[in-house]
Chains A and B, each alone.
Chain A
Amino acid sequence: MTTTSNDPYAATESQTSQGKVYTVTGQDWDSVVTGVAEDHDDKIVVNMGPQHPSTHGVLRLILELEGETVTEARCGIGYLHTGIEKTMEYRTWVQGVTLCTRMDYLGNLAYEAAYCLGVERLLDIEDQIPEKANVMRVLLLELNRIGSHLVAIATGGMEIGALTVMTIGFRERELVLGLLELITGLRMNNAFIRPGGVSQDMPAGALDEIRDFVALMKKRLPEYADLCNANPIFKARLVDVGHLDLAGCMALGITGPVLRSTGYPWDLRKNQPYCGYEDYDFEVCTWDTADSYGRFRIRLNEMWESLKIIEQCVERLAGLEGAPVMIGDKKIAWPSQLSIGSDGMGNSLDHIRHIMGESMEALIHHFKLVTEGFRVPAGQAYVPIESPRGELGAHVVSDGGTRPYRAHFRDPSFTNLQATSVMSEGGMIADVIVAIASIDPVMGGVDR
C-alpha cells in the first residue's frame, strides 16, 4: 500500500495491482461509499481486524463479500504471538508455570494444570500428588471454567449488541476473580498449580466464601436463562448460525462446547479423567442443534455442572483441614513457604528458622531448588485436559535437564478457529461475528 499522507491513521485510498484499496477508519465513509459505488465491482475483500471490537481479540478476518454474503473467509493470526513456548526453554520447570499461565488468559489454570500434569508424568510422581492438591486443582479449574464461560457469553452478547448480557456476565465474573484472588493471591496469571501440587493451602474462611458464591450463582444463573434462552432477538441471531456437524468437527479436530453441540458427549473429564475427576458427580452437557445457540446453552449448562463440582470440592476440603498440598518429596516440592506477618505476606518465619538454624539439608535443598531447579528424566509426555474451550494438550519434552527441552501446547482455540471458514462461508457478514463468538477463541492461547 502506498500512503503519502503524514497522518498514518487517516482514511486513505490508493490504487494497487489488485484493485483499489480503502483504509477505513470510521470517519470518511462518504469517499468509500461513493468509490465502491463507482467501481460497482460485485466482489469486495474486507479486511476486518486485527483491531476491531467484534473480532473477539486481535483476530484478523479476511472476508470476500458479494453484497452482504460471505463467499470466502480466512483468518489471519499471529498478532499476539509472544514466543512463550520458546521462553519456557530458557527457564526452570517450575518457572514454566508462570509463563504458560499467560497463554489463554481466561482459562489460564487449565494451562497450568496440563503443564504440571505433563511434568509430573515425566517425573513419574503422578500417584504421589496429595489428595488435597488434587481437590484444590479441580476446584480452581471449575471456578476458572465458570469465569471463562461467563466471558464467552458476555463478549458474545456484546458483539451482537446485547449489552446487558455483557454487563451481567462481567458482574458475575468479578465474583469468580475475587475468589481466585482469595485462594491464589492473584486475579489472573495465577501460577498457583505447581509441579507436585499447588503452591499454598486454602486461606482461612475461603470455604465459606465459596459456599456464598455458589448460593449467589444459583440465584444469578437463571437470570441468563430468563434473558436469553427464549429471547426472540437472541434466537434470531444465534439459531442455525455457525452450523458444524459431527463429521466436520472430527475432520477439523474441533473439541469442547462446539463438539458437544453436535450431540456427541465427549468430555475428557469423563472420558479420560485426570486430577481425580472420576470421583465427582456431574453430567456432560450436550445439545443437538450443532449451531451457535446450542453452544450458548451448553456453556450455560456447564456452569451449573461446575457449581455442582465446586460444592463437592468444598465438602471434601472441609474434611482435609491441614492436609498437605505439595508432594512430600523434598527434592521436588518448592521449599519456600509464605505466611502472613504483621507487615503483610512474606516468607514464613518458621521456614526461615528451619533452614537457617535447624537443618543444613533443608538449606541446601532450598538453595538448589530455587537457583537451579530439579531435573526431570529424559522423555516426552502428552497430557490432554478439558479446558473451557476443548482439548488442551501439553506436549512436554525433557532431555534430563533442569529446563524444559520443548514445551508445546495444543491449544483448543487455535484448532477450533480453523472452523471459521466452514462456519461462515455462504452466510451473511453479520453471522461471521456470531460464529466466531460461538467458537470463543482466546487470542492469547491461539498465538501463544
Chain B
Amino acid sequence: MTDEPDQKSADDAAPEKSQLAQREGGTQDASLDAVEAHTADTREVIGERRGMFGTQDAGDTSGYGGLRRTVTLPGATPPPYGPSAGSGGPGWMDDVAASLARVTREQGLESSVEKVVVHRGEITFFIRRQDLPAVARLLRDDEALRFEFCAGVSGVHYPGDTGRELHAVYHLLSMTHNRRIRLEVTCPDSDPHIPSVVATYPTNDWHERETFDFFGIVFDGHPGLTRIEMPDDWPGHPQRKDYPLGGIPVEYKGGTVPPPDQRRAYS
C-alpha cells in the first residue's frame, strides 16, 4: 500500500503547483517536472530495511529475507511552497519564509536556514545549530513572524543519518497570525550539543531537560540541565534507538526486582 509513499503526495501536489505556475504565467509543465525530479533526488536516506517481517534471528522461511529497501524521509522542497491552506491564510508559508529570509539577512545570518521541507501541509525549517538561539529570537520578536509560543522540543534519534544522528524538533506557534512552523536542528552523536533556547522561550526549560534525559542532547546555556523523568543516577538515555526496551532491574527501598527475562519461571 505504502511502498511508494511519495507517489500519492506528488499526485496531490500536482494540481496545486500547476495552478500556481499558471497564476504566475510560467510554463507549468516544465516547472512541474523539475519539482518532481528535485523532490525524488533530495529525499533524505536514513537507513535500510531488510526482509519483510522484521525478523533477523530466525531462519528465513518467507523468501523475503533478501529484500533491501532504503528508508527515506521527505527531502527539501523548493519555493514557492504553494497555496497552503489552513488557519494561517492563503500562501502563508511563503510569507513566513520570505520574512525569515529578510530578518536573517538583516542580521547577517543568511545561511542559517539549511533547507525547508513542506510535507503534509506542515513546514519545517532546518536551522544550522549554532544559529538556533538567534533565529528563535528573531522568530519571536519580528512583527511579521511573531512566533510567541513554543510547544517544546522533541528529540528524534536517527542512527542511520550519519553525522546528524540526533534531531531536536521545535514546534512554534504564532497566536498573532495563527500559524505553526517547525524548526529542526541536528547534531552528531559524537558531539551532542545544541544551544538552548530557554532565554527566548522559558517554557522550554523542562522540555529541554526531558530531551536531554531521553536522548542525551546537551542544551548549552540551559540554566539547570538535569534529568527530569528518570532518576538522577540513571545510566544511559532511554529513548535512543540503541537503548533496549525493558530488561532493567528495579530497585526500591534497597530491594531489587530482576528484569522480566531473569525472573523465576515455571515453564
Footprint of B on A, CB under 8 Å? 8, 77-78, 81, 83, 85-87, 89-90, 121-124, 250-254, 266, 271-272, 331-332, 372, 374-382, 384, 391, 393, 395, 397, 399-402, 405-406, 408, 410, 414-415, 417-418, 447-448
Let me know if B53 and A124 touch, CB within 8 A.
Answer: no
Is B107 close to A, CB under 8 A?
no
With A271-B175, A382-B180, A395-B171 known, 10 other A-B pairs at CB within 8 A are A77-B229, A78-B230, A81-B230, A253-B201, A331-B1, A378-B5, A381-B122, A401-B71, A406-B154, A406-B156
Let me know if A399 and B87 touch, CB within 8 A.
Answer: no
Query: Quick one: which of A121, A252, A375, A402 contacts B120, CB cutoff 8 A?
Result: A121
Residues of A within 8 Å of B72, CB to CB, are 378, 400
Return A154 CB to nearest CB of chain B, in Å.
Answer: 27
Which residues in chain B, 1-36, are within 8 Å of chain A measured between CB atoms?
Answer: 1-3, 5-6, 8-9, 12
Please give me the residue from chain A that is nearest to B178 by CB atom. Answer: A271
Footprint of A on B, CB under 8 Å? 1-3, 5-6, 8-9, 12, 46-47, 49, 53-54, 71-74, 86-87, 119-122, 124, 148-152, 154-157, 169, 171, 173, 175, 178, 180, 182, 201-207, 210, 214, 227-231, 238-239, 245, 253
Let me know if A252 and B5 touch, CB within 8 A.
Answer: no
Let me know if B202 and A252 touch, CB within 8 A.
Answer: yes
Residues of A within 8 Å of B171, CB to CB, are 382, 384, 393, 395, 410
Please give me the residue from chain B that is nearest to A372 by CB atom. Answer: B53
Let me know if B239 and A86 touch, CB within 8 A.
Answer: yes
Return A196 CB to nearest CB of chain B, in Å.
Answer: 13
Let me know if A272 and B87 touch, CB within 8 A.
Answer: yes
Let me know if B178 and A272 touch, CB within 8 A.
Answer: yes
Return A191 CB to nearest CB of chain B, in Å.
Answer: 20
Please give me the residue from chain A that is nearest to B200 by CB atom. Answer: A251
Let me know if A379 and B74 touch, CB within 8 A.
Answer: yes
Let me know if B120 and A399 touch, CB within 8 A.
Answer: no
Let me know if B229 and A81 touch, CB within 8 A.
Answer: yes
A85 and B239 in contact (CB under 8 A), knowing A331-B1, A410-B171?
yes
Return B44 CB to nearest CB of chain A, in Å.
Answer: 9
Residues of A within 8 Å of B173, CB to CB, are 384
Q: Tell me the bound Cα distance from A190 to B5 in angstroms.
A: 31
Please give me the residue from chain A that is nearest to B49 by CB atom. Answer: A401
Return B197 CB to nearest CB of chain A, in Å.
Answer: 12
Return A74 CB to nearest CB of chain B, in Å.
Answer: 10
Q: Tell me the bound Cα distance from A405 to B49 in angstroms.
A: 13
Q: List 24 A-B contacts (CB under 8 A).
A: A81-B229, A81-B230, A86-B238, A86-B239, A123-B2, A124-B8, A124-B120, A251-B203, A253-B152, A266-B175, A271-B87, A272-B180, A375-B2, A378-B73, A378-B74, A379-B120, A381-B120, A382-B182, A395-B154, A401-B49, A405-B156, A406-B156, A406-B157, A418-B205
Residues of B within 8 Å of A401, CB to CB, are 49, 71
Return A425 CB to nearest CB of chain B, in Å.
Answer: 15
Q: Tell me the bound Cα distance from A97 to B239 in angstroms.
A: 19
A415 and B46 in contact (CB under 8 A), knowing A78-B231, A121-B120, A391-B151?
no
Residues of B within 8 Å of A378, CB to CB, are 5, 71-74
Let me know if B49 and A410 touch, CB within 8 A.
Answer: no
Please give me the residue from chain B that is nearest to A409 by CB atom. Answer: B154
Residues of B within 8 Å of A124, CB to CB, are 8-9, 12, 120
Q: Tell me the bound Cα distance from A83 to B231 in angstroms.
A: 13
Residues of A within 8 Å of B231, CB to CB, are 78
Let me know if B169 and A90 touch, CB within 8 A.
Answer: no
Let me know if B2 and A78 touch, CB within 8 A.
Answer: no
Let me know if A399 and B46 touch, CB within 8 A.
Answer: yes
Return B113 CB to nearest CB of chain A, in Å.
Answer: 18
Residues of A within 8 Å of B148, CB to CB, are 250
Please give me the residue from chain A that is nearest to B203 by CB atom. Answer: A253
Let me know if A415 and B207 touch, CB within 8 A.
Answer: yes
Let me know if A377 and B203 touch, CB within 8 A.
Answer: no
Return B243 CB to nearest CB of chain A, in Å.
Answer: 8
Query: Quick one: which of B73, B202, B227, B245 contacts A90, CB cutoff 8 A?
Result: B245
A376 and B228 in contact (CB under 8 A), knowing A86-B245, A122-B120, A418-B203?
no
Let me know if B2 and A382 touch, CB within 8 A.
Answer: no
Return A258 CB to nearest CB of chain B, in Å.
Answer: 13
Return A361 CB to nearest CB of chain B, in Å.
Answer: 13
Residues of B within 8 Å of A85, CB to CB, are 214, 239
Let me know if B202 and A251 touch, CB within 8 A.
Answer: yes
Let me know if B180 and A376 touch, CB within 8 A.
Answer: no
Please give me the residue from chain A that is nearest to B245 by CB atom. Answer: A90
Let me know if A377 and B2 touch, CB within 8 A.
Answer: yes
Let me know if A397 and B229 touch, CB within 8 A.
Answer: no
Let me know if A410 and B245 touch, CB within 8 A.
Answer: no
Q: Tell me the bound Cα distance from A8 to B12 in angstroms.
A: 65
Query: Quick one: which of B3, B150, B156, B180 contacts A253, CB cutoff 8 A?
Result: B150
Let me know if A415 and B152 touch, CB within 8 A.
Answer: yes
Let me know if A400 and B156 touch, CB within 8 A.
Answer: no
A410 and B151 in contact (CB under 8 A), knowing A87-B245, A378-B73, A397-B156?
yes
Return B155 CB to nearest CB of chain A, in Å.
Answer: 8
Residues of A within 8 Å of B5, CB to CB, are 377-379, 400
Return B160 CB to nearest CB of chain A, in Å.
Answer: 9
Query: Quick one: which of A332, A379, A380, A448 contacts B169, CB cutoff 8 A?
Result: A380
Q: Tell me the bound Cα distance from A331 to B2 in angstroms.
A: 10
Return A174 CB to nearest CB of chain B, in Å.
Answer: 32
Please give me the residue from chain B that is nearest to A123 by CB atom. Answer: B2
Let me know if B229 and A447 touch, CB within 8 A.
Answer: yes
Residues of B within 8 Å of A384, CB to CB, are 151, 171, 173, 180
Please give me the residue from chain B that is nearest to A9 by CB atom. Answer: B253
Please give me the residue from chain A that is nearest to B213 by CB atom. Answer: A78
Residues of A within 8 Å of B8, CB to CB, are 124, 377
Residues of B within 8 Å of A376, CB to CB, are 2
